[in-house]
């Protein structure tokens, strides 16, 4: 089962893409919409795919200085 999907909105003159994540309860939502506006909307499908790739790639961290 897919955890992420990309939804396309066609406005006639342009298209926008929204990355959506499936919740535990089974509905889809935009996890990047933090301001209830257009955050998490992208102008190209490549940009939306890159966002999903960043979310699925684990982050490696290490302490480089300090005690």
Tokens 């990355």 sit at which residue?
19
Whether 60 shows a pLDDT value over 70: the answer reads yes
Give the pLDDT confidence score for residue 34 in this predicted structure. 76
Average pLDDT of span 27-36: 85
User: With b meaning 16 or more CB within 10 Å and e meaning fewer, what string describes 44-64?
Assistant: eeeebeebbeeeeeeeeeeee
Please state, in angstroms and rounded to a whole number, the distance separating the CA atoms of residues 35 and 64.
34
pTM for the whole thing? 0.74
CB 45 within 8 A of CB 52: no
* Pair type for strands 28-29 and 41-42: unpaired
- Is residue 1 very low, low, confident or very high in pLDDT (cuts 50, 70, 90)? low
Average pLDDT of span 1-27: 91
- So where are the chain's domains? 4-56
Give the pLDDT confidence score for residue 40 in this predicted structure. 84
């Amino acid at each position: 089962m897919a955890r992420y999907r990309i939804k396309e909105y066609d406005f006639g003159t342009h298209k926008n893409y929204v990355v959506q994540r499936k919740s535990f309860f089974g509905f889809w939502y935009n996890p990047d919409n933090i301001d209830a506006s257009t955050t998490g909307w992208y102008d190209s499908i490549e940009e939306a795919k890159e966002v999903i790739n960043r979310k699925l790639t684990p982050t490696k961290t290490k302490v480089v200085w300090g005690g």
